[in-house]
Amino acid sequence: MEFRCEKCGKLLNVDSDPGSMIRCPHCNKKIVVPAALAAMPHPQMPATSVVKDTPANQPAAGQTEGQGEGQEGEEEEEEEGEDVLVGAMAKIMPWVISIFFHVGLFLIMAFVTMIVKVTAVPDDVIVPDAVWSDNPGGVLNPGSSNPNAPMQQQVKKTDQNAYSKREAAIQADTGKTDKKPMLIGMSAGESSGGGLAAFGLSTGGQGSGPRSSFFGSGGGNVHHIVYVIDRSGSMIDTFQFVRAEMLISISRLRPMQDFHVILFAEGHPKEMEHRRLVPAIDRYKESAAMFLEPIRAEGRTDPVPALERAFDVLAQADPRRPGKLVYLLTDGVFPDNAKVVACTSKRNGTGKDHVFINTYLYGNKPPEAEKVMIDIAKQSGGKYKYVSADE
């Protein structure tokens, strides 16, 4: 009778009584011949698939001994080949699956990284952009008695030629005042001496990032700012208005920024007592106002020592907060233009050490002076602007 082994599932053809115990020639397991197969007809199987319950070396009926041994050898080789293949697949498949999984995960992470890099704006991209304004700094209201009279109308034109001849002879009053200067643009909530209401200005607010402006020319998103301002004798009639614009600019800096003020004439420049960058908070903004209050215009023009000091100060800036900027203002020709351009070119660095220079020609517009200021701004990546004294 024929039946399948309950252990390995192979088809068996045996001459044993139902219910008797036999050993499967394929899996070598003991099995019981099913009783229900006793009445079933005896099927005829091809000689190659007939397996007798005889010793392994006994050939099947109708076959020679050599033929039986050959067929059994072929069957055993096929079964062994299948077992080896299944075993190899069982060992290899987990590795194949793992490799595909990790490759897929890597591709997903690479795609996400590419998206983040493309869409994210780096924090260290410095944009010293220029924001022009028809009314730079706001309108100054000199008093409540005449709120519609802008202070700019009181500015007198300066005769550059006349002052260039007698710069060294000008000795202005340098007397100090007992009054505490009022910092323009500070709101009452920011400082005890805030002058917001009196001047009709609003502070720039705390904001979400660095920001600065001077005479309507934007300082972009730089963190470190140095004001290098001409106080020579030729500016005796206009320095008070430049000082007012400086206070407006300083008052609108945000706390994450820092600043310093350097004034130049001849000899050693004048600078804030700290002689370094200080945080743009109320205490230091008021210090700047106190420093600027007694300053008077006098002497000849020499910006080189002040520019050297500006680069020294900016070299000590916190590198974790990028962006360095110099606001350079004068009202005429320098005694040695080539020396000034060479100083700014030689001292300027690259990368995080690079300093942008925004230049301003105030009141007068000699072609030679304008060319120098344009060259200085261009070589540093900054902006140039002419500011009329009548604005």
Domains in the chain: how many in total?
1
Q: Is residue 88 part of a domain?
A: no
Half-sphere exposure of 379 (CA within 13 A, CB side): 15
Average pLDDT over residues 254-261: 95
CA angle 275, 277, 280 (to 5 degrees): 125
Least confidently predicted of 63-72, 74-83, 167-176 = 167-176
Structure-model confidence comparison of residues 204 and 9, the more confident one:
9
Q: Is residue 345 part of a domain?
A: yes
Q: Is residue 164 part of a domain?
A: yes
Helix H or strand E segment including 112: helix 65-119
Residue 332 CB partners (closer than 8 Å, separation 6+): 160, 164, 234, 301, 364, 366, 369
Q: Is residue 47 part of a domain?
A: no
pLDDT tens digit sequence for 268-313: 999 999 999 999 999 999 999 999 999 999 999 999 999 999 999 9
CA 57, CA 72: separation in Å to the nearest integer? 9
% of the chain surpassing 90 pLDDT: 41
Q: Count other C-beta atoms under 10 Å from residue 128's C-beta.
A: 23
The confidence band for 388, taking pLDDT boundaries of 50, 70 and 90, is: confident
- Bridge partners (DSSP) of residue 264 are 230
- Bridge partners (DSSP) of residue 322 are none
Question: SS3 for 227?
Answer: strand
What are the Cα distances from residue 366, in Å, to 135, 332, 361? Answer: 23, 7, 9
The confidence band for 41, taking pLDDT boundaries of 50, 70 and 90, is: low
Alpha helices, H only, 148-298 = 160-166, 196-199, 239-251, 282-292
Q: Is residue 11 part of a domain?
A: no
Q: Is residue 129 part of a domain?
A: no
Q: Which domain holds residue 318?
A: 151-387
Burial environment of residue 59 by CB neighbours within 10 A (0 to 12, 13 to 18, 19 or more): middle
Winning range, highest mean pLDDT, from 76-80, 325-329, 363-367: 325-329
Average pLDDT over residues 81-100: 83
Structure tokens at 23: 């050993």
Residues 315-346 as b/e (b if ≥16 CB within 10 A, e otherwise) read eebeeebbbbbbbbbbbbbbeebeebbebbee
> Is 0.75 surpassed by the pTM of this model?
no
Average pLDDT over residues 64-92: 69
Q: Is residue 57 part of a domain?
A: no
Is the pLDDT reported for residue 368 higher than 50?
yes
Q: Is residue 23 part of a domain?
A: no
Mean per-residue pLDDT over the chain, rounded:
75
CATH number at residue 264: 3.40.50.410
Give long-range contacts, CB 8 A cutoff, 24+ apart: 49-58: 49/11, 49/13, 50/13, 51/11, 51/12, 51/13, 51/25, 51/26, 52/13, 52/14, 52/15, 53/12, 53/14, 53/15, 53/16, 53/22, 53/25, 56/25
Structure tokens at 72: 């059994």
pLDDT (0 to 100) of residue 187: 39
